[in-house]
Amino acid sequence: KYGWPEDIWFHVDKLSSAHVYLSMRKGLTIEDIPKEVLIDCVQLVKNNSIQGNTFSGPKTGGMDVGQIGFHRHKVKIVAVEKKINEIVNRLEKTKDERYPDLAAEKKAQIQDLKKKYKDDIKKKRELDELK
């Protein structure tokens, strides 16, 4: 609800799991995520799901290991066959948990944009008066 359209979140489909929220620069999409970062995100999600951590899937009948599927064109499914401890351990060592107030951040950002817009209009009027 309070995220930005360009940001991406990961979770284990149909199972209880942690959510990994990847903040993206404006104009970038899921296709622009480096493969290494994508693997890190899905490994974190799998590791932090009690059921997903022990589950070797999810897959549909004809999917190869690591194959990506699309659902409703906004969801990208990445099949993770197994947890890779080296990746999870590396990421856990650099863990930095934050509990941001996304509603307040979004509200502040919108207010900043409105202020900038008003300032731009004021400067334009001043320039017009000078002419």
- Using omega within 30 degrees of 0 as the cis cutoff, is the peptide bond preceding 5 cis? no
pLDDT at residue 56, rounded to an integer:
57
Amino acid letter for position 40 = D
Q: How far apart are CA 87 and CA 127, in angstroms?
A: 57
Those residues with Cβ within 8 angstroms of residue 95's Cβ, 6 or more apart along the chain or in another chain: none
Whether residue 45 contacts residue 20, with contact meaning beta carbons closer than 8 Å, is answered with yes
DSSP letter assigned to residue 10:
E
Averages of pLDDT over each 10 residues, the chain, 131 residues = 74 72 84 89 82 54 45 63 89 85 87 95 93 85
C-alpha distances (whole Å) from 56 to each of 3, 46, 49, 53, 81 are 30, 10, 12, 8, 5
Q: Hey, is 36 helix, strand or coil?
A: helix
pLDDT at residue 77, rounded to an integer:
73
pLDDT at residue 63, rounded to an integer:
46
